[in-house]
Amino acid sequence: MNYLVLAILLPFAFLFIWMIRKKITVGIWSIKVFKSNSIVFKRPTESLLKEPTLKASDVSDVPAEFVADPFIIHHDCKLFMFFEILDKSIGKGVIGLATSKDGEKWKYEKVVLKENFHLSYPYVFKNNDNFYMIPETSEAGKVLLYKASLFPFEWEVAHTLLHGNYVDSSIFQYEDKWWMLAAKSRKLHLFFSEEPEGEWIEHPKSPLISNNEHITRPGGRVIVDNDLIFRYTQDCKPNYGSAIRVFKITHLTEEEYDEEEVNLILCGTKNAKDWNRDGMHSIDQLKVNNSEWLTVVDGHRLEHKNYFFWKMERIIAMRKKENRLTIKTATKSTNI
């Protein structure tokens, strides 16, 4: 009997020891907002990136592991920042919102978009007095265009732009046409359309880039300023989220596409205590006036955690969420 019990328990003991000894590397992302007098073409000074503006600890309505992929938009004398929150209770990204009046002091509001699939990269823009968002929805197998039914808190799917596992789709308007860059399977694709909710056609030069992880994946809003077009791209080598490069698009028509690299503008500091020690991978820029831009970026530090305790954190977060939902449901039933 004792041998039987031992035979049953031994595999579990080995599994437990393996989990206790196993390590996992987790990227802890944070967000920084700063002002500049032009579009970012070169590395900002260290003083501009000294401390993060928004961290996971600022999120109050879900257990956040990190915040990343920030995009900003201006409306009614107020600034709105949309970004990914990695919700530990579900192990997926949701879209959060923070607001500001001056671009310096930011207030976290709440989660504004959640699906049963992972969400990130909430590329927000305005067209014909309507607010739209194209979050990264590759887990759903399609690129979805969301429209605000009540800006900034309520969003609903307005159109399916593309079918396929595209990531970080980046839309922009140039010469009365809409264009969209999107990455898939280590390739950068380009599409165009008459309207965001119209039919999207792949450019004859697409894919523009193949098998070059230094310059393939979009890394933020495409900036069109005075007929100049700049695209920002993630440098995913030597590891994901290492740096951001900027390219100038020199020729863009329905038949042609040309670009030239400008610079590597953001990367990890390599300083042990810095919040962005190990890399940066997203940038958005809002033109305030002719001499001032508001820029928002993200960065991360890699933390080596014990796998068992990291997993337990997620399980506890999930249980707490389930308990809150149970209490909420019971309260509603009692009130009825």
List the domains of the chain with CATH numbers. 27-308 (2.115.10.20)
Q: Provide mean pLDDT across the span 27-43.
A: 94
Residue of 277, 212, 189 whose CA lies nearest to 241: 277
Instruction: List the Cα angle 279/285/290 in 5-degree steps.
Output: 140
Where does residue 160 rank: exposed (0-12), middle (13-18), buried (19+ CB within 10 A)?
middle
Residue with the bigger pLDDT between 134 and 289: it is: 134
Q: Which of the four pLDDT bands, split at 50, 70 and 90, describes residue 328?
A: low
CA gap 56, 66 in Å, rounded: 5
Per-residue pLDDT for 41 more than 70? yes
Token pair recorded at residue 207: 């894919």
Locate all alpha helices (DSSP H) within the chain, ordered by sequence: 2-21, 307-335
pLDDT digits (tens, 9 = 90+) for 68-80: 999 999 999 999 9
- Residue 336's pLDDT band, with cuts at 50, 70 and 90, is low
In percent, how much of the chain has pLDDT > 70? Answer: 92
SS3 call for 326: helix
Rounded Cα distance, 13 and 6, in Å:
10
Q: How confident is the model at residue 259 (pLDDT cuts 50, 70, 90)?
A: very high
Each residue of 61-118: pLDDT tens digit?
999 999 999 999 999 999 999 999 999 999 999 999 999 999 999 999 999 999 999 9
For residue 318, the model assigns a pLDDT of 81
